[in-house]
């Protein structure tokens, strides 16, 4: 099985972390967010039932941390029914080959993200020149070659349903990547946003380390389409989420989330879009 899956040749451990690394947070009785260095993976499922779905797959070389957490929360020998990806950036697929290899479960992603997960397409180079701090400067060092999951990755159903999560629907929230998706549960207005927006300013290394909460657009150095990204944030805000778990940073909820999300929508051009950078149109501002 492993023969047909491989990471890019630039796959490597990235030595950056946050104070929450290794910790997890029960956001709701059936939603658990685990922080791996600087990124979150989410376990959706009731621990009593032992049934769950894993959203995203962490940083490079993080599979063991995910195996441990899954075992701790759902019991020995339990495995998810599926792994569902918000998108395929290196910090969201870092452990996926080991996970698929051991668990032998399907991986789902948006149709437009599949070529980036089957070795056919590579993401635009991260923009180290973008307005921002240390993390952007480090970004050329991040893995960018496409991974190849071969036949293990499948397309999300086009009717918006989410495999094994009947109460959720997926929304195409492109901009940060072509096939980026977010997940929404209408019943309690829970949003799993991925990197459509995040609650930590990703381009400031000290904020990434301390996880100080600050709503922000998608991570700047990896976002090639700011117009689409803005529309995606508007789409998510129009759902009036009550709780948001984002790909980076701590979960946000209630009044704080509403206030911050509205602020982001209203001031997107000022606070999300960088002043300069190779993916910002000259006429954007």
- Residue 24 binds Zn ion, judged by CB under 5 A: no
CB of 198 to Zn ion, least distance (A): 8
Of the residues 91, 98, 113, 178, which one makes contact with Zn ion according to CB under 5 A: 91
DSSP 82: E
Q: Where in 157-196 is the site for Zn ion (CB under 5 A)?
A: 195
- Answer yes or no: are the C-beta atoms of 36 and 14 closer than 8 Å: no
Q: Angle 54-102-89 (CA atoms, 0-180°, nearest 5)? A: 50
Say how far apart CA 32 and CA 14 lie, in whole Å: 24
Q: Nearest distance from residue 248's CB to Zn ion, in Å?
A: 6
Q: Can residue 207 be called a binding residue for Zn ion (CB under 5 A)?
A: no
Contact 62, 37 (CB under 8 A): yes
Does residue 95 bind Zn ion (CB under 5 A)? no
Q: How far apart are CA 68 and CA 82, in angstroms?
A: 17
79 binds Zn ion (CB under 5 A): no
Order the strands of the 53-55 sheet from edge to edge: 24-28, 31-36, 39-44, 53-55, 82-84, 107-109, 153-155
Interface with Zn ion by CB under 5 A: which range of 19-27, 99-107, 121-129, 246-254?
A: 246-254
Can you tell me the distance from the alpha carbon of 105 to that of 258, in angstroms, rounded to the nearest whole number?
A: 36
Size of the site for Zn ion (CB under 5 A): 4
Reduced to 3 states (helix: H, G, I; strand: E, B; else coil), residue 91 is coil
Q: How far apart are CB 270 and Zn ion at their closest, in Å?
A: 22
> Per rule CB under 5 A, is residue 247 in the interface with Zn ion?
yes
The answer to whether the CB of 234 falls within 8 A of the CB of 90 is no
Binding of residue 88 to Zn ion (CB under 5 A): no
Q: How far is the CB of 194 from Zn ion (least distance, A)?
A: 7
Complex with Zn ion: residue 38 or 100, whichever CB lies closer? 38
* Binding status of residue 225 toward Zn ion by CB under 5 A: no
In the set 89, 110, 201, 207, which binds Zn ion (CB under 5 A)?
89
Residue carrying the six token digits 């929230």: 173
Q: Is 58 in the site for Zn ion (CB under 5 A)?
A: no
CB of 202 to Zn ion, least distance (A): 8
Query: By C-beta, is 91 or 98 nearer to Zn ion?
Result: 91
């Amino acid at each position: 099985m492993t023969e047909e899956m491989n990471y890019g040749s630039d796959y490597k451990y990235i030595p950056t972390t946050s104070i929450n690394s290794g910790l997890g947070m029960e956001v709701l009785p059936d939603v658990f967010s685990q922080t791996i260095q600087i990124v979150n993976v989410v376990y959706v499922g009731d621990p009593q039932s032992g049934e769950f779905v894993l959203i995203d797959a962490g940083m490079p070389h993080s599979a063991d941390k995910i195996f441990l957490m899954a075992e701790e929360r759902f019991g020995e020998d339990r495995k998810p029914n599926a792994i569902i990806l918000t998108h395929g950036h290196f910090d969201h697929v870092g452990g996926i080959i080991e996970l698929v290899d051991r668990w032998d479960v399907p991986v789902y992603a948006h149709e437009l993200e599949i070529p980036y997960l089957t070795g056919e397409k590579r993401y635009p180079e991260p923009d180290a020149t973008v307005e921002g701090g240390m993390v952007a400067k480090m970004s050329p060092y991040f893995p960018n070659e496409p991974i190849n999951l071969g036949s293990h990755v499948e397309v999300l159903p086009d009717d918006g349903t989410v495999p094994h999560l009947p109460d959720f629907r997926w929304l195409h929230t492109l901009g940060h990547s072509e096939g980026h998706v977010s997940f929404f549960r209408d019943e309690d207005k829970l949003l799993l946003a991925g990197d459509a927006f995040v609650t930590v300013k990703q381009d400031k290394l000290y904020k990434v380390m301390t996880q100080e909460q600050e709503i922000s657009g998608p991570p700047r150095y990896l976002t090639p389409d700011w117009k689409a990204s803005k529309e995606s944030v508007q789409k998510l805000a129009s759902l009036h989420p009550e709780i948001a778990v984002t790909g980076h940073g701590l979960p946000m909820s209630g009044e704080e989330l509403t206030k911050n999300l509205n602020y982001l929508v209203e001031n997107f051009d000022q606070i999300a879009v960088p002043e300069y950078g190779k993916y910002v149109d000259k006429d954007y501002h």
